[in-house]
Structure 1
Amino acid sequence: MNNIMTKIISFANQKGGVGKTTTAVNLSAALAEAGQSVLAIDFDPQGNLSSGLGIDKLNTAKTIYEVIIGDENINDAILNTEVENLDIIPSNVDLSGAEIELLELEDRERTLRRKISELYKEYDYIIIDCPPSLSLLTINAFMASDSVVIPIQCEYYALEGLNQMLRTVNLIRERLNPTLEIEGIVFTMYDARNNLSGQVIEGVKSVISNENIFETIIPRNVKLAEAPSFGMPITEYDTTSTGAQAYRMLASEVLSKSGR
């Protein structure tokens, strides 16, 4: 992509319930805590990234929907969060209508990319939380991104979802965005007491090259599960928890990959 400084990362998995939004929320907060200026874009109509960062998504005048479908200036949709260095463009259920409306637009796959081009160099990182499906929204996110983080839950069907996701990324790369990379695969909801968790990790490593797998593994953690209901990332909700430490470690891996 033509941006010099801003790194744009999508968080995606076509399978729901894998810790995708949890990872987007908490990695955004951990990067911000490390002194990076971060913009999180909620590109999922469920709006969980917004609520996870303390935004009342039902009472937000301007969301990403108005930006990509209307003529709303993207800067007017940016909100501050309680986390220093972390801003957000929220989303809500209105975004589900964008699927149909985008079909009528010319060059529809690049709509988000055009809108966020104004923000290049404004932020160190732009994090995009995709819907849990391969949709026109997800394609827009991939078109706007430099790379993709794929969170995988340590459970039996993980490999199935991963293979599907990798095929999608390859397809986008071949046809639309040749510079799109896989930032990394991150294992979530790891339970050390469960043999299956270890087997899933070994299974994925056997089919994927190691340079695409983050060393940090996100554990199952009660505090991590509680934090969204308080509208806080784990780094704020329980700063010393194992979940917070894991996301800080993940952030430092992302920073070193970017040479920062």
Structure 2
Amino acid sequence: MPIISLMNQKGGVGKTTTTINLAAQSAIKNRTLMVDVDNQANLTKQFLSEEPEKTVEELFHGRYLEPIEIKKNLFLLPSSLELTGIENKIADKISREFFLKKALKKYQEEFDNIFIDCPPNVNLVTINALTASDHIICPIIADAFSVEGIEGMISVCSLLKEQVNPDLNILGIVVTQYDERLSISKHILKDLEDRGWADDIFKTKVRVNTAIRQGQYYRKDIFQYDRKSHGAMDYAKLGQEVMKRINNYQKL
């Protein structure tokens, strides 16, 4: 069962929002697990009003963490600020890059799809997430700093692919908060194409949509909040495109 990490070294690009809504789209038909390994815990806060008693830190100590059921077919392994200290605890351990990979094998038997929300920086937790992953999706918004984040991600992924995870695949780049009325949006897309990433960009762009933010306020994914909104339509199409790419990749 595929493990998909969402990553960009720049914050504020819709990484967590995209993790939530791709997972929610997947959960319409498949048992789906969200894994929050970002110590900011924004994904966790989206669904839980109180601090969880146990978090994904359990996985780094080789212990099983019972997934929290969010709704039918959608489950969460939560995070918290306490995850910040995990790097110091595992830094001198043998095979420290593989803790998460080993832990998630148990969950792959229970779930059809697993989505990991990565930190917006490269640290040992991020490396664990990418070592455990089959695919990476890079969300961006239409600005220059997001594009720079892609270059950093590609460098990290190339190194990890060479040294610890030869099966790691960059599935694609998804443009979020897209507004086709703005010239900068078109310029950024042209810039991505000029850099040789035209085939990596998902055809589906997630448009600017107030329903997405409103859903976050009410702790709902976009399909729960307003399934007729542009946001729901975009994430539904994106989810289908993601799974199509995964299926095509598996046939290679």
Instruction: Give the match for residue 49 of structure 2.
Output: 56
Report the AA paired with residue 30 of structure 2.
Q
SS, match of residue 165 in structure 2: coil
Report the AA paired with residue 18 of structure 1.
V
Which residue, 216, 221, 231 being the options, matches 2:204? 216
CA contact (8 A) 1:156 1:196 kept: no
Instruction: Give the match for residue 244 of structure 2.
Output: 256
Taking the aligned partners of 1:184 and 1:259, their CA distance within structure 2 comes to: 14
Report the AA paired with residue 19 of structure 1.
G
Taking the aligned partners of 1:257 and 1:10, their CA distance within structure 2 comes to: 15
SS, match of residue 214 in structure 1: coil
Q: Map 1:1-260 to 2 at 5 A.
A: 6-33=1-28, 35-52=29-46, 54-58=47-51, 60-69=52-61, 71-74=62-65, 76=66, 78-82=67-71, 84-259=72-247
Alpha-carbon distance, 1:57 to partner: 4.8
Report the AA paired with residue 172 of structure 1.
L
Q: Which deviates more from structure 2 when the two are superposed, residues 152-161 or residues 205-214?
A: 205-214
Taking the aligned partners of 1:240 and 1:208, their CA distance within structure 2 comes to: 35
Q: Which deviates more from structure 2 when the two are superposed, residues 60-69 or residues 12-21?
A: 60-69
**Total equivalences in the alignment:** 248
RMSD of the TM alignment (CA)? 1.4
Taking the aligned partners of 1:140 and 1:171, their CA distance within structure 2 comes to: 13
Q: Can you list the C-alpha shifts for 1:190-243, whole angstroms capped at 9, x where unaligned?
A: 112210011101111221343322111011111112222211111111111101
Alpha-carbon distance, 1:101 to partner: 1.1
SS, match of residue 157 in structure 1: helix
Q: Can you list the C-alpha shifts for 1:148-168, whole angstroms capped at 9, x where unaligned?
A: 000011113222111111111
Taking the aligned partners of 1:14 and 1:141, their CA distance within structure 2 comes to: 14
TM-score by length of 1: 0.91
Identity %: 35
Unaligned runs of 5+ in 2: none
Report the AA paired with residue 171 of structure 1.
L
Unaligned runs of 5+ in 1: 1-5
CA contact (8 A) 1:47 1:57 kept: no
Q: Which deviates more from structure 2 when the two are superposed, residues 156-165 or residues 171-180?
A: 156-165
